[in-house]
């Protein structure tokens, strides 16, 4: 028998969340961010469910080509750009747009024999991750405007703190640096991640780039997706594969850190950190057993974890368990484990089978690419 762990991907929740992003940014085009295997949700069925987006953004060239091979014709932006002249050739061949953020990319573009490249110049407005310095922007845009390889130029930046305190000074500062650098340059702009899409209409501009919100989770630590009418897309589920009765003083799992302080009943769930469940989730982290609230007890091991069934005495072996998703926001698990939902979703292990919930949305997709990871 197969291990009972599965991640259900609710494709109708994806389309719902896309419509929420549209409500927040009605005038902008939406570039749906589907990097990291669509934040762990599976690339192709996610892209297909999000086909009403105006474009897609990701980092992985192979995944971008996989989208083209599956017949997806939307604009596709590579968020880190290209790393070699060979890759540059592939961009034109597959009509992929690219971010330009570094002098080495500029050098590769100079003298290349391409002619229809769509580029997004990324400006470092303060996050200090990727992007050219604002002072260098005038020279860079002049150089690229006169490069015959480039047929379309857009401008972008990325916010470090759009998910922080509302109207924080760093966010305001980045917006101001961008506006000053690009003043009087009438080119399409893209600034907003999910947090800025939800919170800052003034940052919407021509293209918004929501990622996390499309998967139904909140980019703000202070909220869950439901607060913005978002629906969770992934439900990580498994089953109870063993139960035990404990006496006071018995331990559960590795290290014996957890000791029963009274007679208890526990269940063993087929889900561990090698599936992507956070190893640091502490005793007390919420788990749903047969749709009822339970809690994690003891240390999470590689393939299994234990839940408290003392208050659910009739729960038999094989009872369904929800680790996160429908009825249990992934934000709650992230919060308990001192991490963020981005990490939990995108770190879902390849050994967890992804099952889509709406059949019609995936019927035309090649099977081999469905769980491409």
**Closest residue by beta carbon to ligand PLP:** 211
Residue carrying structure tokens 């997706």:
225
59 vs 72, which CB is nearer to ligand PLP? 59
Q: Write out the binding residues for ligand PLP, residues 175-234 only, by CB under 6 A.
A: 193-194, 209-212, 219
158 vs 299, which CB is nearer to ligand PLP? 158
The CB density around residue 179, as the number of other CB atoms within 10 Å, is: 13
Shortest distance in whole angstroms from residue 342 CB to ligand PLP: 6
Shortest distance in whole angstroms from residue 55 CB to ligand PLP: 12
Shortest distance in whole angstroms from residue 32 CB to ligand PLP: 9
Active site includes 254?
Answer: yes
Residue 158 interacts with ligand PLP (CB under 6 A): yes or no:
yes
79 vs 296, which CB is nearer to ligand PLP? 79
Shortest distance in whole angstroms from residue 191 CB to ligand PLP: 9
Residue 33 interacts with ligand PLP (CB under 6 A): yes or no:
yes
67 vs 266, which CB is nearer to ligand PLP? 67
Bridge partners of 295, per DSSP, are 286
Shortest distance in whole angstroms from residue 258 CB to ligand PLP: 35
Q: Which entry of 93, 113, 254, 293 is annotated as an active-site residue?
A: 254
HEC sequence for the chain: CCCCCEEEECHHHHHHHHHHHHHHCCCCEEEEECHHHHHCCCHHHHHHHCCCCCEEEECCHHHHHHHHHCCCCCCEEECCCCCCHHHHHHHHHCCCEEEECCHHHHHHHCCCCCCCEEEEEEECCCCCCCCECHHHHHHHHHHHHCCCCEEEEEEECCCCCCCCCCCCHHHHHHHHHHHHHHCCCCCCEECCCHHHHHHCHHHCCCEECCCHHHHCCCCCCCCCHHHHCCCCCEEEEEEEEEEEEECCCCEECHHHCEECCCCEEEEEECCCHHHCCCCCCCCCCEEEECCEEEEEECCCCCCCEEEECCCCCCCCCCCEEEEEECCECHHHHHHHCCCCHHHHHHCCCCCCEEEECCHHHHCCCCHHHHCCC
CA distance linking residue 113 with residue 115, whole number of Å: 7
Residue 276 interacts with ligand PLP (CB under 6 A): yes or no:
no
Shortest distance in whole angstroms from residue 219 CB to ligand PLP: 5
Angle 220-331-33 from CA coordinates, rounded to 5°: 65
Residue 131 interacts with ligand PLP (CB under 6 A): yes or no:
no
Shortest distance in whole angstroms from residue 216 CB to ligand PLP: 12
Residue 75 interacts with ligand PLP (CB under 6 A): yes or no:
no
Bridge partners of 190, per DSSP, are 156, 207
41 vs 209, which CB is nearer to ligand PLP? 209
The CB density around residue 311, as the number of other CB atoms within 10 Å, is: 13
Q: Which entry of 35, 39, 122, 277 is annotated as an active-site residue?
A: 35
Size of the residue set binding ligand PLP (CB under 6 A)? 11
Give the burial class of 364: count Cβ atoms within 10 A of its Cβ; 0-12 exposed, 13-18 middle, 19 or more buried. Answer: exposed
| 32, 79, 288, 344: which one binds ligand PLP (CB under 6 A) | 79
197 vs 237, which CB is nearer to ligand PLP? 197
75 vs 253, which CB is nearer to ligand PLP? 75
Residues marked as catalytic: 35, 254
- Residues forming the site for ligand PLP (CB under 6 A): 33, 35, 79, 158, 193-194, 209-212, 219
């Amino acid at each position: 028998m197969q291990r009972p762990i599965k991640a259900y991907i609710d494709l109708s929740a994806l389309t719902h969340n896309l419509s929420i992003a549209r409500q927040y940014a009605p005038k902008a085009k939406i570039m749906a961010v589907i990097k990291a295997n669509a934040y762990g949700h599976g690339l192709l069925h996610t892209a297909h469910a999000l086909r009403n987006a105006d474009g897609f953004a990701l980092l992985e060239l192979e995944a971008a080509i996989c989208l083209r091979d599956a017949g997806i014709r939307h604009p596709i932006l590579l968020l880190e750009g290209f790393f070699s002249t060979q890759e540059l050739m592939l961009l034109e061949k597959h009509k992929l747009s690219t971010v330009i953020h570094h002098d080495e990319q500029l050098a590769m573009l100079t003298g290349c024999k391409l002619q229809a490249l769509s580029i997004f110049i990324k400006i470092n407005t303060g996050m200090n991750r990727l992007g050219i310095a604002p002072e260098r922007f005038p020279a860079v845009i002049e150089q690229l405007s006169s490069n015959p390889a480039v047929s379309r130029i857009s401008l972008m930046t990325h916010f470090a703190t759009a998910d922080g305190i509302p109207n924080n000074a760093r966010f305001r500062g980045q917006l101001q640096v961008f506006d000053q650098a690009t003043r009087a340059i009438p080119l399409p702009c893209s600034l907003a991640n999910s947090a800025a899409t939800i919170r800052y209409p003034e940052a919407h501009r021509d293209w918004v780039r929501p990622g996390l919100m499309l998967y139904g989770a909140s980019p703000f630590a202070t909220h869950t997706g439901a607060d913005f009418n978002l629906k969770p897309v992934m439900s990580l589920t498994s089953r109870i594969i063993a139960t035990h009765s404990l006496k006071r003083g018995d331990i559960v799992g590795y290290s014996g850190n957890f000791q029963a302080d009274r007679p208890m009943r526990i269940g063993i769930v087929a889900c561990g950190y090698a599936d992507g469940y956070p190893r640091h989730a502490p005793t007390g982290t919420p788990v749903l057993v047969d749709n009822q609230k339970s809690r994690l007890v003891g240390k999470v091991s590689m393939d299994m974890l234990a839940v408290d069934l003392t208050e659910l005495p009739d729960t038999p072996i094989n009872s369904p368990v929800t680790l996160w998703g429908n009825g249990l926001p992934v934000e709650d698990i992230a919060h308990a484990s001192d991490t963020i939902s981005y990490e939990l979703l995108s770190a879902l292990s390849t050994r967890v089978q992804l099952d889509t919930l709406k059949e019609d949305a995936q019927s035309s997709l090649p099977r081999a690419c469905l769980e491409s990871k």
